[in-house]
Structure formats: structure tokens, C-alpha cells
């Protein structure tokens, strides 16, 4: 059967497993780097302060450095990155200070806050920060 295949088709069929292996290796390397980074941050800070881990997670979710810097300023103003922060004047809770937020997992709070910014401000955390500077909330 291999004799009937053209050279191009034969080489593409032979390289399919190699592509899958390359993708798996690429994913494994990135996952290992992520785990190493998180564990080294955890070892470097022997305190129970997980703020840096929350910020790292948010940065990975946002990807753009400019957007992350705006998000960092916004959530520092809102909650100091505390997942148990409560607003005395409203029902806002958590890192992103979303109204009626019931989630206690800080990583899910970050996901919810990013989803809110994506929906309300077209994913532009800098727009959300500008609104917060004008109104005191976003």
C-alpha cells in the first residue's frame, strides 16, 4: 500500500504522529514551567499571602501586559487582591468586587471578574480602570 502513495502524501501521513508528539511536548514544557514558577514563588514567600499567585493567574488569563497592569491597578483599588474583601456599602465581594458574588474560590473570582470586564468593557481592563477613576466603581 505504501508504494501506491505519492511521496508528499506518504511524508504527510508519516509526520502526523510527530506533530501530535510535538504538541504534547510543547504543552508539557509550558505546564512544567508554570508549576515550577508557582512552586518557586510559594517557596520564596513563606507567608500565607497568596496575592502573587492570584496576580500570576490573572496575568496568564489576560495575556496582554498592558491589560494586566490596568487590571492589577483596578483590583488593587477595589480589594487589595483579597478574596474575602467585602464592600460595606453594597453586596460587592471578592477580588473583583462583583455584586452578589457567592464564589469563595479566588481563582474562580478572578475568572468571573475577567468575564465581567470582557462582557461590559469588551475585554479592556484599561476602560474599566478609567470608569473606576471617574465613578469610584466599575
Would you list the DSSP string of the chain?
A: -TTTS-HHHHHHHHHHHHHHHHHHHHHHHHHHHHHHHHHHHHHH--SS--HHHHHHHHHHHH--HHHHHHHHHHHHHHHTT-TT-B-TTSSEETTTTEET-----HHHHHHHHHHHHHHHHTT-HHHHHHHHHHHS--
Q: Does residue 32 surpass a pLDDT of 50?
A: yes
The closest alpha carbon to 92, from 118, 70, 112, belongs to 112
61 lies in the same domain as 105:
yes
Question: pLDDT for 84-104, tens place per residue?
Answer: 999 989 999 999 999 999 999
The answer to whether the predicted template modeling score (pTM) of the entire model surpasses 0.85 is no
Question: pLDDT for 46-83, tens place per residue?
Answer: 444 789 999 999 999 998 999 999 999 999 999 999 99
8 lies in the same domain as 76:
no
16 lies in the same domain as 80:
no
89 lies in the same domain as 109:
yes
Q: Does residue 118 surpass a pLDDT of 60?
A: yes
Mean pLDDT of the chain: 83
From CA 42, how far away is CA 96, in angstroms rounded? 23
The number of domains in the chain is: 2
Q: Which residue has the higher pLDDT, 81 or 3?
A: 81
30 lies in the same domain as 57:
no
109 lies in the same domain as 67:
yes
Q: What is the residue range of 12's domain?
A: 1-44
Amino acid at each position: 500500500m505504501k508504494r501506491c502513495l505519492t511521496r508528499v502524501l506518504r511524508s504527510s501521513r508519516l509526520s502526523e504522529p510527530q506533530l501530535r508528539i510535538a504538541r504534547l511536548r510543547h504543552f508539557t514544557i509550558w505546564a512544567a514551567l508554570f508549576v515550577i514558577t508557582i512552586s518557586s514563588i510559594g517557596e520564596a514567600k513563606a507567608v500565607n499571602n497568596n496575592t502573587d499567585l492570584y496576580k500570576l493567574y490573572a496575568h496568564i488569563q489576560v495575556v496582554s501586559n498592558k491589560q494586566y497592569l490596568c487590571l492589577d491597578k483596578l483590583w488593587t483599588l477595589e480589594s487589595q487582591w483579597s478574596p474575602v474583601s467585602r464592600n460595606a456599602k453594597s453586596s460587592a465581594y471578592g477580588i473583583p468586587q462583583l455584586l452578589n458574588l457567592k464564589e469563595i474560590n479566588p481563582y474562580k473570582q478572578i475568572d468571573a471578574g475577567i468575564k465581567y470586564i470582557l462582557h461590559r468593557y469588551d475585554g479592556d481592563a484599561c476602560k474599566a480602570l478609567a470608569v473606576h477613576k471617574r465613578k469610584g466603581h466599575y
